[in-house]
Amino acid sequence: MTPTPLTRRRLMRDTLAIAAAGLPLVGRAQADWPARPIRILIGTPPGDSSDASARQIAQRLAAILGQPVFVDNKPGAHGFIVGDLAKSAPKDGYTLMLSSGGQMAINPSLYKKMPYDPVKDFVPVAQINNGFLYLAVNNSLPVKDLKEFIAYVKARPGKLSYGSGGNGTTQHLTMELLKTRADLQIAHIPYRGSPLVLQDLLGGQIACAFDAGASILPQARQGKVRLLGITSPTRVASTPDLPTFQEQGMAGFEARVWSGLFAPAGTPPQVVQRLNAAMDQVLRDEEFVEFIRKSGGEPAGGSSEAFGRFLSSEIARWAPVVRESGAQVD
């Protein structure tokens, strides 16, 4: 039967009503975000420096967003467990991941097979901090700066050793970079994390190590180890009297330790933008800024797009270092 004009008008009215009712549901869901608690996944155990940072962030995000934010620790497997969980989470902004540069920028070159792709499987939300590494030596070493350290090691090829938190960590690869640049022969001893490295550095079982400020600065301030330099491009507020490697003749020598907040790829842009704005507020909080600086870093911030470009540059920076170190894992 041929529809009458009245029937056609009614059909069109009903169709438009359905469309009008459906379209705002998506927009309204995003506008109402967050409507329930938010989970931040992290690949480190409770109690370490990254976990402490995550909990401070969660507390402040909860106050800004008006919903509970909790930290869910999923340590182990070089960040593979947490990365796989985060990428597979619903793309709704209620599951985020706080991750380090090692997991997102070094792992792609270190491992031939990974359960996640740092670029394709995630959208960067906000970079949290920029930290750097300190070269620390046991107090028994008769060296006061980088030049003396290089000369001391060269005079004893293969007789000294350094420690790191494991093969492929930023600390390991930074020393390998220094070995290449300065033509040094010094043995690598991998440990299961920085605390064990620090224990043997203090005890004299190893001569030196690179480490982040959160771990090494308390020991240096108590005179238990000696710092020779920092891998930052310029001096930092936490150690204003300590020269950089570049100041000591190692042009372009730079190594960063950083962390950032990520969401699964496909998370609505409006949600990512709101999270980025909330993180910008967190990174202006004076107490949180002081927390970062006491750990030897500086707050980062910036747009999601800028963080994405930074991640790509870090992946490119570490790829040749991993290759030259021979640290690749099957």
Write the CATH number for 193: 3.40.190.10
Q: How far is CA 7 from CA 13, 17, 19, 21, 152, in A?
A: 10, 15, 18, 21, 93
Dihedral, 127, 129, 130, 131 alpha carbons, nearest 10:
-150
- Number of helical (H) and strand (E) elements in the chain, helices listed first: 12, 10
- 98 and 139 together in one domain: no
Predicted pLDDT at 107: 93
Torsion-angle region of 314 (φ positive above 0: left; ψ -120 to 50: alpha; else: beta): alpha
Q: Which long-range contacts (CB under 8 A, 24 or more apart) does 272-278 make?
A: 272/93, 272/123, 272/125, 272/304, 273/304, 274/33, 274/65, 275/93, 275/96, 275/125, 275/126, 276/125, 276/126, 276/303, 276/304, 278/61, 278/64, 278/65
- 103 and 114 together in one domain: yes
- 119 and 161 together in one domain: no
**12 in a structural domain:** no
Please tell me the distance from the alpha carbon of residue 244 to that of residue 259, in angstroms, as a whole number.
Answer: 21
- 178 and 125 together in one domain: no
CA atoms within 13 A on the CB side of 102: 21
Kindly report the average pLDDT of the chain as a whole number.
89
- 153 and 126 together in one domain: no
- Domains held by the chain: number: 2
Read off the pLDDT band of 147 (50, 70, 90): very high
Assigned token pair, 128: 């949290």
Among 161-175, 278-292, 301-315, name the one with the lowest average pLDDT. 161-175
Type of residue numbered 318: W
> For the segment 194-204, what is each residue's pLDDT rounded down to a tens digit?
889 999 999 99
Hey, which residues does 257 pair with through a beta bridge? 131
Predicted pLDDT at 172: 92
- 41 and 74 together in one domain: yes
Write the CATH number for 275: 3.40.190.150
Q: How far is CA 157 from CA 151, 152, 160, 208, in A?
A: 10, 9, 7, 15
**315 in a structural domain:** yes
DSSP state of 244: B
CA atoms within 13 A on the CB side of 320: 5
Predicted pLDDT at 28: 52
**53 in a structural domain:** yes
Domain that holds residue 77: 37-130+257-325
**240 in a structural domain:** no
> For the segment 89-139, what is each residue's pLDDT rounded down to a tens digit?
999 999 999 999 999 999 999 998 999 999 999 999 999 999 999 999 999
- 125 and 161 together in one domain: no
Does the pLDDT at position 325 exceed 70? yes
Say if CB 197 and CB 191 are below 8 A apart.
yes
Predicted pLDDT at 30: 62
For residue 298, give the H/E element and its range. strand 297-299
Please tell me the distance from the alpha carbon of residue 83 to that of residue 26, in angstroms, as a whole number.
Answer: 27
Type of residue numbered 8: R
- 136 and 216 together in one domain: yes
> For the segment 175-190, what is each residue's pLDDT rounded down to a tens digit?
999 999 999 999 999 9
Indicate the length of the chain as a whole number.
330
- 52 and 122 together in one domain: yes
- 122 and 137 together in one domain: no
Please tell me the distance from the alpha carbon of residue 315 to that of residue 71, in angstroms, as a whole number.
Answer: 26
Please tell me the distance from the alpha carbon of residue 298 to that of residue 284, in angstroms, as a whole number.
Answer: 11
Asked whether the whole model's pTM tops 0.85, one would answer no
**235 in a structural domain:** no
Assigned token pair, 39: 């989970």
**251 in a structural domain:** no
- 218 and 142 together in one domain: yes
- 262 and 302 together in one domain: yes
